[in-house]
Structure 1
Amino acid sequence: MKASDAWGGGIVDPTDALALLMSPEGRLDPYPTYERLRAHGPVVQAGPVFYVVTGYAEADAILRDARFGVMDDALRDQFMPGWRESPAVLSISRSMLRTNPPDHSRMRRLAAGAFTPRRIAAMRDVVRAQADELVDAMLAADEPVDFMAAFAYPLPVGVICALLGVPAADRPLFRRWATDLTGVLEPEITADELAVADRGATELRDYFTELVAARRRAPADDLTTALVQAHDGGDRLSGDELLANLIVLLVAGFETTTNLLGNGLVALLEHPRAAAALRERPDLAPAYVDELLRYDSPVQLTSRMSTAPSRYGDVDLPPESWVIVLLGAANRDPRRYPDPARFDPWRAQIAPLSFGAGPHYCLGAALARLEAQVAFPLLLRRLPGLAVAGRPERRVRLTLRGHATLPVSVGREAAPVTVPGTPPGAAGPTP
């Protein structure tokens, strides 16, 4: 069955809808398939012990429920025989991303000092200065400019590398390595894709092995030094955990934000009245960024395994159920957000699940928000003629949704357009 046929004719079986979601066409635009799944309820059984969650309330509750955790070593042995032979799976599994308490709590606590509200707020001027430099370079470049390569990648990678103490000269290396590695986060992966992910994991591990050795010789005021000292100080962080968490902090520190900047810019350019309002009112940026996160989430799903019986959405979930929480679908749940397919930064109580919830809530969420809150008003103010200048290319990914390329014309720098007395309703879709 072709994806287009399924969309046109309707889907009765949630298993078929899930297969469609995993197809290349389904990954490029998952939102129609989410609605096919939602038609069966907020929690849907798609296999003997396999469930899919599309409801906002149910997703939020499951992510906070202590009866649900991430897949541990014993379950990986059951579902992924031979996983220890994969550098990519092994790296992710030894990080805070794929561990449960108490190990997760211990690792997260060690890294949390770099992401306190005070430290994040103090980075605003640094982020603004970096964003200004990138816009200067865009203005000096030949058009069209690939926004992903020129701005969406270098801004967040520069910020997270500064936190980790990665030299500026090394930062261009990480985009391919991270792109390769993050394939392992997809719900389905082929042997060829796994080989690519393993290559990225190996290169990242080799890099951080050298950086760790350098910080042992010459400590610095950065997160890498702090984690090295935690490892060397005793049993608080093993060697595998040290390297795995450095890799995950780097990759997670820019992949999500890169996708947020690309997805968000497209949404703003498709809604020029909303963009004009933000250009004139940068103080509106927090609500805009939350709505952009909701409208086209850079992270579309996460998964959990149940350890005890539970009941959600009138569905009984037995122990060892595998639950796919579709964050992108939950963010468009009409029970939570009226007219959810409409971009509307004036919504009340925007609280997207794009960064998760509960113990695994994204450690760098505040930093990602800060970067976007600085970047979008700055781009719109300095580049009022900014426009898509060609066909954007989506990455064929579901978990991490974003663009591979996004060609734009930047025009010339000019004074911002004045939009006097913009009422709340003006931020809606352009007629």
Structure 2
Amino acid sequence: MPATDHQLTEPVTGPAEPVRGPAEPEMGPAEALAELFTPAGKHHPYPLYDALWGLGPVIPLGPAGTLVLGYDEICTALRDPRFLVTDAAVHRTTGMNDHSSWQCFTKIMMFSNSPDHERMRRFAGWAYAPRLVAERRRLAVGAAERWTAHLATLDGGGPDGGGPVDLVEAFATRVPITVTGDLLGIPEADRMELRGAVTATTTAFEPVFDRDELLPADAGMDVLVDYLADLVRDRRRRPADDLISVMVRDRDAAGALSEDELVASLVMFLIAGVQSPSDLIGNAVRLALHHPAEGRRMTTDEEHTAAFITETLRIDPPNHVLTRSAATDIDLHGHRVAAGSRALLVLAAANRDPRRFTDPAAFDTAREDNRPLSFGLGPHYCLGAAFARMQVEAAVPVLLRRFPRMTLAAPPTHRDQLVTRGFARMEVVLGS
């Protein structure tokens, strides 16, 4: 955890910017893949996905890897236990284990294989139980109301008052860090500093061409690990009414996790509880502004809101790519994936598979059986998916009700990331 598409009913980031050669027939798969990880490709990946689709749902990239775009093919791979997540054993040969970012990531369930994955998932699974997620909705609504009230106090000199303001900084980042910070028991004064560290760690998920590219992720991870380890020690001495206290108590009572695994699990709870919801809020608001009638319905209709967020997850998800390593030679729908090679599963392309979705580039909240793969599938399906969705479904209607005349002041700009993709800045005129 991967734009402007000429087939979209609306632009993803405003007017199209030129991307070198995505429609040129001579572009090969390796070249198109390399283009994805340039700044232009990261900002506008959908034309490149279209170009790659012309080569089929499974594209061999030589002995080292396979690119998988197809919906059914990715479903098969995510359910097949022979496709392993890239754990510490896999990274023993890559040198990633020398970096503090991956030293922590390989101690969490997301980057652990059986039996460690099941052990860690059992330990943390209760925190994402449907009943608890539903109960936390009031926290998300309260956070959204708090930060929309704050937005109303801002005046950047826009013609209608209340803008332009950066909605990423002032709302999309603040709602999830408030909700997740409250649950974990993180003091409010510390949250925004940790928010920056969270985003920094996600750069480690990108393909690494130079080890120095991991330095920002390492620095962010060092902040999170040191901070949460201190909180663990504090809660062991002085338990409070928060998730950290409960997890410390459970870990000490049963010994299901090591101390390092406990801290890493809390790091992942913080990252997952903040980054994907923040990016998804930005994507959903942009789509609501491009589809104002659909946006207005979200202010009064919870079922429509759920359908709107599902379609947002399909057409412009916050997570574009998952990586798997083949434990043995695998036949994937007639394509050989060699033992030890990597399979890049492009979830965002599968969400537009024309074999699975009618008119896949169109934004359509009325789709039937709409099941995007944005949170994965199978044993590693994102444990916090419902928690992330709940925050977005609670927050976006509050924002749209408070600012019904909100408009984009400029095309939003993306972070220089593809695997976890979201806006760096989204200037709006609030219109209040």
Report if aligned partners of 2:59, 2:66 keep a CA contact under 8 Å in 1: yes
Structural RMSD (CA)? 1.7
The reply to whether residue 340 of structure 1 matches residue 340 of structure 2 is no
Q: 260, 264, 271: which is aligned to 2:284? A: 264
Q: Residue 362 of structure 2 aligns to which amino acid in structure 1?
A: R
The reply to whether residue 312 of structure 1 matches residue 332 of structure 2 is yes
Q: 119, 142, 157: which is aligned to 1:106? A: 119
| Mapped partners of 1:33, 1:49: distance in 2 | 21
Partner of 1:21: 36
Q: Residue 126 of structure 1 aligns to which amino acid in structure 2?
A: L
The reply to whether residue 7 of structure 1 matches residue 22 of structure 2 is yes
Partner of 2:5: none
Structure 2 CA distance for partners of 1:131 and 1:58, relative to 1, 3 Å: same
| Mapped partners of 1:280, 1:350: distance in 2 | 22
Report if aligned partners of 2:208, 2:214 keep a CA contact under 8 Å in 1: no
More helix by share: 1
Task: Count the aligned residue pairs.
Answer: 409
Report if aligned partners of 1:111, 1:223 keep a CA contact under 8 Å in 2: no
- 1:178-197 map, 5 Å: 178-197=198-217
| Mapped partners of 2:209, 2:286: distance in 1 | 28
Partner of 1:95: 108
Partner of 2:69: 54
Q: Residue 56 of structure 2 aligns to which amino acid in structure 1?
A: G
Structure 1 range deviating more: 217-226 or 253-262: 217-226
The reply to whether residue 132 of structure 1 matches residue 152 of structure 2 is no
The reply to whether residue 144 of structure 1 matches residue 164 of structure 2 is yes
Structure 2 CA distance for partners of 1:171 and 1:96, relative to 1, 3 Å: same
| Mapped partners of 2:109, 2:316: distance in 1 | 25
The reply to whether residue 176 of structure 1 matches residue 170 of structure 2 is no
Report if aligned partners of 1:54, 1:326 keep a CA contact under 8 Å in 2: yes
Q: 193, 203, 207: which is aligned to 2:227? A: 207
Report if aligned partners of 1:11, 1:17 keep a CA contact under 8 Å in 2: no
Partner of 1:418: none
- Any runs of at least 4 consecutive aligned residues in structure 1 with deviations exceeding 6 A, and if so which? none
Partner of 1:421: none
Q: Residue 103 of structure 1 aligns to which amino acid in structure 2?
A: D
| Mapped partners of 1:180, 1:272: distance in 2 | 33
Structure 2 CA distance for partners of 1:189 and 1:403, relative to 1, 3 Å: farther
Percent of matched pairs sharing the same residue: 39
Report if aligned partners of 2:21, 2:27 keep a CA contact under 8 Å in 1: no
Q: Deviations over 1:131-157 (max 9, x none)?
A: 111111111111212111111111111
Partner of 1:220: 240
List runs of 5+ in structure 1 lacking aligned partners. 413-431
Report if aligned partners of 1:67, 1:308 keep a CA contact under 8 Å in 2: yes
State the shift of 1:39 in Å.
Answer: 1.2
Report if aligned partners of 2:68, 2:346 keep a CA contact under 8 Å in 1: yes
Partner of 2:344: 324
- 1:395-414 map, 5 Å: 395-412=415-432
Partner of 2:7: none
Report if aligned partners of 2:100, 2:221 keep a CA contact under 8 Å in 1: yes
Structure 1 range deviating more: 215-224 or 400-409: 215-224
2:61 is paired with a residue whose SS is: strand
Structure 2 CA distance for partners of 1:102 and 1:170, relative to 1, 3 Å: same
Give the TM-score normalised by the residue count of structure 2. Answer: 0.91
- 1:254-403 map, 5 Å: 254-403=274-423
State the shift of 1:218 in Å.
Answer: 0.8
| Mapped partners of 2:32, 2:105: distance in 1 | 28
State the shift of 1:230 in Å.
Answer: 3.4
Q: Residue 47 of structure 2 aligns to which amino acid in structure 1?
A: P
State the shift of 1:234 in Å.
Answer: 5.0
Report if aligned partners of 1:114, 1:163 keep a CA contact under 8 Å in 2: no
Partner of 2:51: 36
Q: 70, 82, 99: which is aligned to 1:86? A: 99
2:299 is paired with a residue whose SS is: helix
Partner of 1:69: 84
2:344 is paired with a residue whose SS is: strand
State the shift of 1:108 in Å.
Answer: 1.4
State the shift of 1:266 in Å.
Answer: 0.8
1:4 is paired with a residue whose SS is: coil
Q: Residue 321 of structure 1 aligns to which amino acid in structure 2?
A: S
Give the TM-score normalised by the residue count of structure 1. Answer: 0.91
Report if aligned partners of 1:183, 1:189 keep a CA contact under 8 Å in 2: no
Q: Deviations over 1:228-271 (max 9, x none)?
A: 22332354111221121111110111100000000111111112
1:73 is paired with a residue whose SS is: coil
| Mapped partners of 1:219, 1:324: distance in 2 | 43
